[in-house]
Amino acid sequence: MIVKAPIDLELTQLSGQTSQPPWNRVGESFRQVIPVDGKPVIFDVRQSGESLDFSFSGDVSKSQALSRLKYIFDLDFDLDGFYRYLNDHAELAEMSEFCKGLRLFLAPDPFECVISSICSANNSIKRWTKSICDMKEKWGCEHQGYYMFPQSSVLANAYLDDEDEFNSSKIEDICMCRNNLMECGVGYRAPYMRRASEMFTLEMDLFEIQKMSYDEAFETILEVPGVGPKVADCILLYGFNFREAFPSDVWIKRIVSHLYFEGKDISVSKVRDFGMEEFGDMAGYVQLYMFHYARRSGLMAKLKK
């Protein structure tokens, strides 16, 4: 079926949003197994002009699958209206030209977004996405050759490293230890990931976060090991669809400073506050477009100097 909503499917998936890795490319399509009302469903999407050509296989209705697709790719968001918003702000007016079709890529599984966002800290997009894919293949449920992200209770019992696996299993040669978090290339983040998994298994209800106010949700997520303000905002934006989140790091700081503060040195926390106050419910989209505009327009290279 053709879903008529302007989108650049490839750009959206490869934009580094920490909801999940890009889906598996199969020919001209992107495919992934997606949980829909607790059932595994294979989604297949491809670009069709400015819209999507969508099909699925699984024991759910067309309306259920379509609703899930629209959520993940944020297809109900008025992208043309957002471009008009950008054009009404002189500092933002060029961004739609460089990022046309870019949409939020929202998490089918908020827990995957938590772990992906922790994994992304001080990490390249290529490395963290590979790490998350490795976790899915090691501990996730397989369905028709595709893997869902493991539940928190599964990762809570994962081995941290080779030594932990060797000492806690019947493996006789430590060189044979492969079933641990460090083997997924997560480095120092492994203890954070396992503790976060324990917390969401035993102490926190992940799905209560969506019901909270933004400020309450932000403070709650900050209690998770390995989560600072930028990672918390990524989790809330990409994992829970809090549009007022404005994830801020040194690069967003430089971009905002250049566009709004004549290049003055301002703190990351003040940039976050500015973004949330200035852009309101558009803050998440503005941040997403700012970053990719800076990459594609050459602004980021200029700011590096």
Q: What is the pLDDT of residues 236-280, one digit of tens each?
A: 999 999 999 999 999 999 999 999 998 899 999 999 999 999 999
Q: How far, in whole angstroms, is CA 106 from its chain's centroid? A: 7
Give the DSSP per-residue string, 190-244.
Answer: HHHHHHHHHHHHHT--GGGGGGS-HHHHHHHHTTSTT--HHHHHHIIIIIH--TT
Across 24-30, average pLDDT: 95
Q: Are 105 and 19 in contact (CB under 8 A)?
A: yes
Percentage with pLDDT > 70 across the chain: 94
The pLDDT of residue 177: 52
For residue 209, what are the contacts with CB-CB under 8 A and spacing of at least 6? 110, 217, 220, 221, 236, 240
Helix count and strand count (H, E) for the chain:
16, 7
User: Which of 230, 264, 304, 305 does the annotation list as catalytic?
Assistant: 230
Confidence check: pLDDT of 169 > 90: no
Each residue's pLDDT tens digit, 128-148:
999 999 999 999 999 999 999
Q: Are 233 and 249 in contact (CB under 8 A)?
A: no
Neighbours of 55 (CB within 10 A): 13
H or E element that contains 33: strand 29-36
Burial of 170: CB neighbours in 10 Å, binned 0-12, 13-18, 19+: exposed
Q: Are 134 and 175 in contact (CB under 8 A)?
A: no
Q: Are 234 and 269 in contact (CB under 8 A)?
A: no
The pLDDT of residue 127: 95
Q: Are 265 and 305 in contact (CB under 8 A)?
A: no
- 230 labelled catalytic: yes
Confidence check: pLDDT of 213 > 80: yes
Residue keyed to tokens 């203890």: 191
Higher per-residue pLDDT: 268 or 166 = 268
Q: How many CA atoms lie within 13 A of 65 on its CB side?
A: 20
pLDDT band at 283 (very low <50, low <70, confident <90, very high): very high
Q: Round to whole Å and give the CA distance between 80 and 97.
A: 12
For residue 59, what are the contacts with CB-CB under 8 A and spacing of at least 6? 39, 41
Phi-psi region of 226 (alpha: psi -120 to 50; beta: other; left: phi over 0): left
